[in-house]
Amino acid sequence: MNKQKSLEPHMYPAELALLLELLQSDSALPLPAEAVSSPSPASSLDWKEFVALAHHHRVYPTIQAQCAQHPQLPEQVKQWLMQKYNRNAFTMLQLSGQMQRLSAVLNERGIRALQLKGPVLAQLLYGDLSRRTSKDLDVLVPMEQAQQAEELLLEMGYIKTQSVPRTTENWRWRYNHESYTDERTGVEIELHWRLNGDAGKEQGFEELWSRRQTLAFGGTDVPMLGMEDLLIYLAVHGARHAWFRLRWLVDIDRLVQHRLDWSLLRKLSQQYRCEHIVGQALLLSANWLGTPIQTDMMYWTERAHARELTVRVLPFITNRVNLCPEPESEALAKPYRSYQYALKKPGQKALFWVRKLGPDDWDMQTLPLPKRLYFLYYPLHPFLLLYRRTQRRTALQREVEQ
């Protein structure tokens, strides 16, 4: 395909270019040393920056095997990568054990659950738990069984460490998960009742369950999303976070090289109005990781909206910024909010403004009122919104000054 000049990775720092090269050449077996080329002489590379990039983008276990055979990487960098790889292998084994335990108990209680990422994604896409990082387990259950699943987690020794506001009746539609942590092991579980927040249109649980696939872990069958649903989920997740970690893009690269039902994917992306988001994911993967663009993919990659969104996320990827849960500064927050708005289709933008103009949970947290006075939130909403923005800007300014 003809690459747009602004998407070319060689236009960016040499350390990032080397990282991308290693990710492109990644395979189950290390490449021979003579097959590896460097975009710049080793003496001109800032190896501290290279290490920082590998850590920030969470791809150090993915490139470890390649780096071990790379003729120009300093021994100190290789040792750092090996240490991080070993720690990640332990973490992933721990997560896998907790996932098997949780899957078995959920099954015994008759609670259907789909693993979204974590060990199942590492095993499916990389063939090895240790070659992808995960900080937690993401589990999707039917909305009507979310309360039952929460009670089960509390019985298992987990404590709730992140909850969502429940002041409005539609809170389960505005938000999509809460977090729980096992204090003994430190393992965190995000319990989802929807794939994504903000009440956007998405596949329902019954539909996802009907297309599920199953992976075996230590004698336990663990259900996960089907391939086409998984691609949409990963694309939407990466897009919402502006792809500020390359790990999410590497997932897309690995996934599209599996056998996919492109006609089903086309039907689903049309139904859930995310063709532009799938196109963005494929374009980024093709331009940055060399993912082959098949004829079937052009339905998404040739969309103007997808190309526009692709260019808009480049500053977030290349400047090593953190956008989760909030942008690091107001300077980042403004373009990030603009990008988030650009992700929406016209109907979604209209719904956004309808919600924006009405009171929300944050109003009720900012100024708690008795239920009989809830009607006051409508005239007070713009003032409370302005107050929160002022408070956030003040807090960010203090951080900068410190």
How confident is the model over 294-348, as pLDDT tens digits?
999 999 999 999 999 999 999 999 989 998 877 877 788 889 999 999 999 888 8
Please name the amino acid found at residue 318. Answer: T
- Asked whether residue 37 carries a pLDDT value surpassing 50, the answer given is no
Instruction: Tell me the pTM.
Output: 0.88
> In the predicted model, what is the mean pLDDT of residues 215-227?
94
> In the predicted model, what is the mean pLDDT of residues 133-162?
96
- Asked whether residue 181 carries a pLDDT value surpassing 80, the answer given is yes
Quick one: which of 6, 5, 1 has its CA closest to 318? 6
Which pLDDT belongs to residue 218? Answer: 84
> In the predicted model, what is the mean pLDDT of residues 192-204?
87
- Asked whether residue 231 carries a pLDDT value surpassing 50, the answer given is yes
- List, for residues 236-245, the tens digit of each pLDDT value: 999 999 999 9
> What's phi and psi for 140, nearest 5 deg?
-105, 125
- Asked whether residue 215 carries a pLDDT value surpassing 60, the answer given is yes
- Asked whether residue 165 carries a pLDDT value surpassing 90, the answer given is no
Which pLDDT belongs to residue 174? Answer: 80
How many C-alpha atoms does 97 have within 13 Å on its Cβ side? 9
Greater confidence (251 vs 319) lies with 251
Lowest mean pLDDT among 30-44, 234-248, 380-394: 30-44
Question: Can you give the residue ranges of every domain in the chain?
Answer: 1-73, 105-225, 234-353, 357-402
- Asked whether residue 287 carries a pLDDT value surpassing 80, the answer given is yes
What proportion of the chain, given as a percentage, has pLDDT over 70?
90
Average pLDDT over the chain reads 88
Residue 252's CB is within 10 A of a number of other CB atoms, namely: 24
Show the CA angle centred on residue 172, arms to residues 170 and 178, nearest 5°: 145
What confidence category does residue 397 fall into, taking pLDDT thresholds of 50, 70 and 90? low
Please name the amino acid found at residue 1. Answer: M
Beta bridge partners of 213: 224
Assign a CATH topology to domain 105-225: Beta Polymerase; domain 2 (3.30.460)
Greater confidence (333 vs 56) lies with 56
What proportion of the chain, given as a percentage, has pLDDT over 90?
65
d(CA 126, CA 27): 9
